[in-house]
Structure 1
Amino acid sequence: MPHSSLKRAAPAKHGQSVYVGRQPILDGDGALVAYELLFRDSPDNRARIHDDVQATAHVVARTIGEIGVPAVLGPHQGFVNMSRELLFDDIVHIMQPQRFVLELLENITFDESLFKRCAQLRNAGFRFALDDVVKLDDALLAALPTVDIVKVDFLAADHGQLPALAAAVKRRGKLLVAEKVETHHDLLRARHLGFDLFQGYFFARPQVLSARRESPARGSLLRLMAVLAGEPGMRELEAELKRNPDIVVQLMRLANSSAQARRRRVSSLRDAIAATGTRQLMHWAQLLLYADGSGLPWRSDPLLQLVGTRARFLELAAEALRPADEAFSDAAFMTGIFSLVHVVLDMQPTEILDKLHLSAEIRAAILAGEGPLGALLGIARAAEQGDAPAIDASRHAQPSLDALTPAVLAKLQFEAAAWFAQHRMDQDEDDA
């Protein structure tokens, strides 16, 4: 995809409101135990969803970064709808396993790769709920070992099958949730069948929460990312963050979300940096920078997907050329990250790069395609477009790139795409 063809939405105005819906999930005594979190784009209590991936991305970004987990969930857990695509996305690792239940949509395809991914996430502490179950069939029985909770749609389910369905689920030790409970009769029947939790209009309609959007200036985010890329000390990072109060507000919310698992409250900027970790802070800054005008981060954004894959491709290529030169591979990664930032800000590349504290080599690579980094960037762009002659021209211009044969480049492209899809935030807890 040519990078010049990417268009960005108009940036959100500072002070614009953001919204999240939540519907309570109750136990048999009527006590609140959790909320299902729902996409809302206005104070109207209606779901206008055109894309499941985008809807969930908005819900998570707003709950964690803008409204705040304590305000949305209190001490309770949140059920979040997850498509198959999002299960393989970094969005999962922004959420704390102790606070969020991953709710698998009814149209998800279960196969070996999904079973493996769910096992990885369960090992990380997540629980899964299977959504909108309406009957007992082979597909349900195959999915049960992967999930912890089964949500049965009381409106759509075959009530003649409900006793067998409930019994089969309970025998396998799963928690049963009756959703779309709309009458007192529904509640009595669900209780009689052994359901554990209940959700529906009989108890409460979804509530819409809102907050004023905080929009950190993109110039500030660029500076923060440049500082983070240089492996800063705590004092340097604190100083940079203190120049950006909006970012600090979101960082404190993110850190306190992380700190819930440790049963301690983050109250200082230094504590927030330590609790979050520089790697997750870098991810968060990138998400904010590449978010569109509606606040959408994540891999559903084609620009974010392109820049992430390009940066990793350049890093891998640099490692292949100079295995012992970590500084070169780091510079290659940053060349990829900043090679598209002018598209985000709708400004000339020279104007943007003048605001960044990047090395002369990175700047020359992006602006003029000069040096080894510029040649690698040229190869990356040509590879994205499948332009074999351009790849050959870049290799011939720099004899040091001869090692990047077509077979090697194909392998690196595959590895870069896999890296982007398979998440690199698993160690954030250790970094924190």
Structure 2
Amino acid sequence: MPDPYQDTDDAGRLQTFAQAGAEEEADEAISSAQFVYVGRQPILDRDGALHAYELLFRGSARNYAEVSDDAQATAQVVVRTIGSIGVPSVLGSHRGFVNIGRDLLFDDIVHLMEPERFVLEILETVEFDERLIARIEELRRAGFRVALDDVCELSPNLYAALPYADIVKVDFLETDRTRLAALTQALASHGKTLIAEKVETREDFALARELGFDLFQGYFFARPQVLSTRRTRSSRTSLLRLLALLARDARIVELEAELKRNPNVVMQLLRLVNSSAFGLGRNIASLREAIIATGTRQIARWAQLLLYAGIGELPWRSDPLVQLAGTRARFMELAARWIHPNDEAFADAAFLTGVFSLVHVLVDSTPDATLDPLDLSPLIRDAIVERTGPMGALLNIAEAAGEAQDAAAIASAQSLAQSLEEFAALTPSVLAELNLSAAAWFGAHLVE
């Protein structure tokens, strides 16, 4: 006969375990909200000396990755390394290998990384075609080294990729051992640097050395280390003031004064300019130098990203409000350039009108209550609040293009501006093309 007290004890223990698990999950959620994390695993040379690190996505202090979106995970690794923790703290004097998929290879986030410090590690799922090959050649001319990840067999895609790679990583867990020697010899004949990855035993290490591998990575040497720093959040009010200053072409001294009120943005801006290939040959030490070196357009894009993403980590791809703000702003910029090809100021104002046209949604207010305290230029303020002037007409057209996405609706919105002769060049077919270009730009070139 079962002991009724035993059932009670088991139930109690299960309840205790469940409570402990819930408390652990709650603690992890709090930690993840307060900190950002990056994993790094050493890559060693034949003498056992540290050669480089592979940088890995980590969502918490737990040392494993839960990745649902490869592109977003890579973007967060890059921005956390550069903008949050800092390249010197993560890499020291060594290079960092960053996993990167096809979409991000075409994204200007690549140019946030300094070619001398980062290796682009192309995922095994990426198919090489003419367009990708041209892009990789462009990146290699810019100074990047390219690694092929998780190679385990001689496939047609591998042969297509080899001429455009500097490094090949062979997966020791997945590669058939009877074919390992032939694979290694074939890769070495192409003059590539070979990395034995996922080396987990002394026997694997001895075999890799015997086969002539140049570098080694795996649990036999070290598990990834998780680095973290406190998450910084930027003040939306300060970002709005900064964007307003940029919208009215404020002087550097005004931008400097506003940035000084938001140390989080200053920190990220300095790390951005010091970590990117601006060709300056020196580190930027002052805020004024950073503003001049970065340029107001780059600062505006960065501030917009922080404003709409809210946490400054590029999780924008999955946020519909971020996508709407980005595509609308870009559409207005493209349309402004179409009707006034030589007026950069008008194009910049159009972009910022698109950005500011949605900020009231962020703060759950009305456009006039949100924008009036910012002292925006009348051109932008009146376009959003009153829908007047050429910029107001352009905003109406942008809304139709973004919401209806058909030529009839765009033509209807354009009719609101027919009294303005300058809009005659924006035919429905042109506007439909600009709308598609803006949507494509958001996915591939948000950070310029």
Q: State the TM-score, normalized to the length of structure 1.
A: 0.88
Q: 2:429 aligns with which of 407, 415, 423?
A: 407
Which residue of structure 2 aligns with residue 187 of structure 1? Answer: 205
Query: C-alpha distance in 2, partners of 1:106/1:370?
Result: 52
Report Cα offsets for 1:254-284 as digits up to 9, x if no partner.
Answer: 2332389766443322333344443433332
Report Cα offsets for 1:17-48 as digits up to 9, x if no partner.
Answer: 11111111111111111111111111111211
1:192/1:263 Cα in 2 relative to 1: closer, same or farther (>3 Å)? farther
1:393 is aligned with what amino acid?
S
1:386 is aligned with what amino acid?
Q
Which residue of structure 1 aligns with residue 262 of structure 2? Answer: 244
Query: C-alpha distance in 2, partners of 1:14/1:191?
Result: 40
Which residue of structure 2 aligns with residue 305 of structure 1? Answer: 323
- Greater shift, 413-422 or 157-166, is seen at 413-422
- Greater shift, 161-170 or 175-184, is seen at 161-170
Which residue of structure 2 aligns with residue 131 of structure 1? Answer: 149
Query: C-alpha distance in 2, partners of 1:258/1:152?
Result: 30
Query: C-alpha distance in 2, partners of 1:295/1:263?
Result: 27
1:246/1:336 Cα in 2 relative to 1: closer, same or farther (>3 Å)? same
Query: C-alpha distance in 1, partners of 2:278/2:414?
Result: 51
Within a 5 Å distance, the mapping from 1:186-225 to structure 2 comes to: 186-225=204-243
Structure with larger RCO (C-alpha < 8 A, sep 6+) = 1
* 1:205 alignment partner, SS class: coil
Q: 1:70 aligns with which of 64, 88, 92?
A: 88
Which residue of structure 1 aligns with residue 411 of structure 2? Answer: 392
* 2:304 alignment partner, SS class: helix
Which residue of structure 2 aligns with residue 41 of structure 1? Answer: 59
1:183 is aligned with what amino acid?
T
Which residue of structure 2 aligns with residue 4 of structure 1? Answer: none
Contact residue 259 and residue 265 of structure 1 kept, 8 A: no
Contact residue 259 and residue 266 of structure 1 kept, 8 A: no
1:294/1:307 Cα in 2 relative to 1: closer, same or farther (>3 Å)? closer
Contact residue 136 and residue 161 of structure 1 kept, 8 A: no
Which residue of structure 1 aligns with residue 37 of structure 2? Answer: 19
- Structure 1 unaligned spans of 5+: 1-11, 427-432
Which residue of structure 1 aligns with residue 20 of structure 2? Answer: none
Q: CA deviation at 1:410?
A: 2.5
* 2:178 alignment partner, SS class: coil
1:199/1:263 Cα in 2 relative to 1: closer, same or farther (>3 Å)? farther
Which residue of structure 1 aligns with residue 314 of structure 2? Answer: 296
Q: 1:149 aligns with which of 159, 167, 170?
A: 167
Q: Which runs of 4+ in 1 moved over 6 A?
A: 12-15
Query: C-alpha distance in 2, partners of 1:369/1:278?
Result: 26
Q: State the TM-score, normalized to the length of structure 2.
A: 0.85
Query: C-alpha distance in 2, partners of 1:206/1:290?
Result: 32
Report Cα offsets for 1:37-91 as digits up to 9, x if no partner.
Answer: 1111111112111111111121111111111111111111111111111112221
Report Cα offsets for 1:368-416 as digits up to 9, x if no partner.
Answer: 4332222221211212222444322222222123332122212322443
Q: 2:101 aligns with which of 46, 65, 83?
A: 83
* 2:233 alignment partner, SS class: coil
Which residue of structure 2 aligns with residue 95 of structure 1? Answer: 113
1:104/1:324 Cα in 2 relative to 1: closer, same or farther (>3 Å)? closer
Query: C-alpha distance in 2, partners of 1:116/1:422?
Result: 16
Q: CA deviation at 1:252?
A: 2.4
Which residue of structure 1 aligns with residue 16 of structure 2? Answer: none
1:307 is aligned with what amino acid?
A
1:339/1:13 Cα in 2 relative to 1: closer, same or farther (>3 Å)? farther
Contact residue 83 and residue 104 of structure 1 kept, 8 A: yes
Which residue of structure 1 aligns with residue 25 of structure 2? Answer: none
Query: C-alpha distance in 1, partners of 2:308/2:113?
Result: 19
Number of residue pairs matched? Answer: 415
- Structure 2 unaligned spans of 5+: 1-29
Query: C-alpha distance in 1, partners of 2:163/2:361?
Result: 45
Q: CA deviation at 1:296?
A: 3.2
Q: 1:112 aligns with which of 114, 119, 130?
A: 130
2:51 is aligned with what amino acid?
V
Structure with more of its chain in helix, by fraction: 2
The alignment's C-alpha RMSD in Å is 2.6
- Among the aligned pairs, what percent are the same residue? 62
Q: 2:71 aligns with which of 42, 45, 53?
A: 53
Within a 5 Å distance, the mapping from 1:314-333 to structure 2 comes to: 314-333=332-351
Which residue of structure 2 aligns with residue 9 of structure 1? Answer: none
Q: CA deviation at 1:232?
A: 4.3
Contact residue 91 and residue 298 of structure 1 kept, 8 A: no
* 2:276 alignment partner, SS class: helix
